[in-house]
Structure 1
Amino acid sequence: MRKRREWRIAAAVCCLALLMSGCWDSRDIDNRLLVGAMGLEMKSAAAIQVWLRFPLPKTSQDLARKDFFTVSQSGSTVLDALNKAKYKLPKALDISSTRAVLLHESMGKSGLEAALEFAIRERSVPLDAVVAVFRGDMNEIFMSPNPIGELSGIYTKLFFEPYAGGIPRKNKTLLWEVYAKLYNPFHANLIPVLAQDEHDKFALHGNAIFVGDKIVGELNRDESLMYEIITQRFHDSEVELMNRSDIRIVHNRSRVTTSLVDGRPVINVDASLVTTLIDTARTRKQNAAQIVADLEKNLNAHTKSMFAKTQRAGADIFGFGNRFRSRLKPSQYDNWSDMFRTAKITYRYHVELRNTGLEFLD
């Protein structure tokens, strides 16, 4: 009798589990609006504007129709704005498909942490969404169509992807990297700066330097290339234009050594570059040694200005401070920004020139 009762209880539990399982709280894809790109702009000290761009499916019969629509909403926080935006939408708002987060330049002056915290805590926005600072009219960039017909959000992501439009001067920054560095005293953020181009969707202006969650400076595209080389984020290849010739950098390997001398950080960077000759000046006699010397001169000039900007701001965008973590007391961690300002940094480039061709003259 007791055994029969146990079987009945087990059967009831199984039936209850079956009733409670399933997708009773889900919404069909047809009843969801998928966000392709999200924009955040600080309108005032107490208000933030959120821009959402949704891709729309198209058929062969409605190719003339726009493939996206945009909604903007202000609120006291990002979540407040998103909740208010739901009152405007005929379907459920789904931001889990967001591929790009554009932060207006005003966000960098007021601070990023409060605006991005919701994405990390709620895990609503994919952590691998690309992040960029936008300079210009946010309404115009979100309302204009993509020039090559890519879906909203995908265009921005492909702009930085190494397998698509990404090149070494385009520093690709992901959402999880931005947020992680906000809480790492040894590593500052470097986020690409985009602005709308006259003919294209947007163009890369450089990279914004952050201390904490605020902009303190900017690297130009040449200085950004040095950052990619030193941090070994370099991918694909990049062309360096010079007076005597044009050189393509096809590979790099960097070695960083550090030490602490009388409380002062000492950082040595050795970068080895493999290059190929792609063009020469026909009107000037030259040889391999001269071209290599010109290239090293250019690289050293860009690197000098890059380190001058970052050290002046106390922004260790390279993560050198992580190498000193075990040598410092926990009470000294927050002082790394000041220590980086006084750090002694030396750098040297070793250039190997290949494929010089038969017309190379000595």
Structure 2
Amino acid sequence: MIHRSFLSVILLLCTLSALLTGCWDTKDINKRLMPVVMGICKEKNQDYRIVLQIPSPEKQGSQYMESSSATITNAIDNIRTKAEKSIDLLHIRLFLVCEKTAKEDMGDIIDYAIQANDISIKGLLAIVRGDFDEVIHHQIKANPELSSYDFFSEQSGWTPESTIIRLWEAYRNIKSYTQDMSIPILTKGTDTLYRFDGSAIIRVDKMVGQISTEEVLIYNIFQEKYTGGTIEIADQSSVKIKRASIKHAIAWTSSGPQLKSRILLKVEIIENKNEQTEEKITTKLKEAIEKRADKLLTQLKSDRSDALGIGQLFRRKMNEEQLKQWKQQWYLDLDHEITVEVTILNSIYLKSPNKIKKPAN
């Protein structure tokens, strides 16, 4: 006769095995639509217009689905209602916000994207300038959804002359007393999918200004995101920045916060058609970068935006009340000096007659 405790064990194992039969609610990939780009723009009646770009192998391109509603959630639900397949937002890699909406308020858009359970917080954020429909629907080749992401990928199309920001970074910045941000501005490309048109200066959750691609270089150095690039200087010379770093010295005096920043550049000379000396090239590069930095600081203070995140450096020196007043008072009183130090790594490959030793007779 089988012991009662043994029967209990058998029944328990059977119950557990039923629970471990797999993901019973999964959906076949052929029954799902996976958008990679979401476009968001407020219409005149303040409804949100949502456009989803979905890879479509059948069309050798993309499928577009859109809807408008008073809330983003309801607009997406409307798209799901009319879709023939389930829509999975987890694969969205890029969020494009029209410039008009960015100037009004982006806070609710970022809040939605972060709070939604089915959206990755690693998605990239950009602002669309010009005709919203033309930029969203613009296609160059068979797989525009891949081009959209590669355009911002640090392993492919991205360059340090453009900013790059993810949803979680944007959410952190709009909630911060001591840090704002910069978001890339896109227009419709000609021979490429997009064209960078500088970067937007954001104060809290609104676009308040713009910086050029030249000033973006300084911005990325402050964000420690600079990965190297080529800079042209006067007299037909150019250098390649191999490494860029920055060091800060902070102080809080009776007159307010003071900051001295040193940008350290390690470069290689690529072209030197007029055979300038290394000292002259170093001086001109130093002057060019310092001029860009001063212009950027002036612009950011004018827009009352701490996009460089300077306030983060002073957090330990401020009390709670000073933190709250950083952008309104202390940031505007900041005494900030930026200097540049240039080190030329090598000139052995410099193709100039004065650098090539002649063979001995």
Is the shorter-chain TM-score for this pair beyond 0.5, marking a shared fold? Answer: yes
Give yes or no for the alignment of 1:122 onto 2:122. Answer: no
C-alpha distance in 2 between matches for 1:361 and 1:244? 17
One of 325, 342, 359 as aligned partner of 2:352: 359
In structure 1, what is the equivalent of residue 358 of structure 2? none
- TM-fit CA distance, 1:265: 1.2
In structure 2, what is the equivalent of residue 47 of structure 1? 47
SS in 2 for 1:156: helix
For residues 191-211 of structure 1, give each alpha carbon's deviation from its aligned partner in whole angstroms, at most 9, with x where no partner exists: 111111233211001111111
Whether the 8 Å contact between 1:194 and 1:205 is mirrored in structure 2 is yes
The letter for the 2-side match of 1:319 is G
Distance 1:90 1:358, change over 3 A: closer
The letter for the 2-side match of 1:351 is V
In structure 1, what is the equivalent of residue 281 of structure 2? 291
Distance 1:241 1:74, change over 3 A: farther
Whether the 8 Å contact between 2:239 and 2:269 is mirrored in structure 1 is yes
- TM-fit CA distance, 1:227: 1.2
SS in 2 for 1:68: strand
Alignment of 1:197-216 (within 5 A): 197-216=189-208
C-alpha distance in 1 between matches for 2:7 and 2:102? 63
The letter for the 2-side match of 1:32 is R
C-alpha distance in 1 between matches for 2:325 and 2:224? 26
Give yes or no for the alignment of 1:77 onto 2:68. Answer: no
Give yes or no for the alignment of 1:302 onto 2:292. Answer: yes
Whether the 8 Å contact between 1:168 and 1:238 is mirrored in structure 2 is no
5+ residue gaps, structure 2, are 356-361
In structure 2, what is the equivalent of residue 37 of structure 1? 37
In structure 2, what is the equivalent of residue 62 of structure 1? none
One of 330, 335, 343 as aligned partner of 2:325: 335
C-alpha distance in 1 between matches for 2:201 and 2:273? 36
In structure 1, what is the equivalent of residue 222 of structure 2? 230
C-alpha distance in 2 between matches for 1:286 and 1:100? 44
Whether the 8 Å contact between 2:138 and 2:188 is mirrored in structure 1 is no
Distance 1:57 1:266, change over 3 A: same
Whether the 8 Å contact between 1:56 and 1:69 is mirrored in structure 2 is yes
**Number of residues of Structure 1 aligned to a counterpart in Structure 2:** 351
- TM-fit CA distance, 1:13: 4.8
In structure 1, what is the equivalent of residue 341 of structure 2? 350
For residues 281-329 of structure 1, give each alpha carbon's deviation from its aligned partner in whole angstroms, at most 9, with x where no partner exists: 44xx632222222111211111111000111222111222112212211
In structure 2, what is the equivalent of residue 280 of structure 1? 272
Give yes or no for the alignment of 1:268 onto 2:298. Answer: no
Distance 1:66 1:353, change over 3 A: same
5+ residue gaps, structure 1, are 59-64
One of 229, 242, 245 as aligned partner of 1:253: 245
Distance 1:11 1:241, change over 3 A: farther
C-alpha distance in 2 between matches for 1:14 and 1:42? 55
Distance 1:324 1:9, change over 3 A: farther
- TM-fit CA distance, 1:336: 0.9
For residues 151-172 of structure 1, give each alpha carbon's deviation from its aligned partner in whole angstroms, at most 9, with x where no partner exists: 51x3222112221011111211
Q: TM-score, normalised by structure 2?
A: 0.90
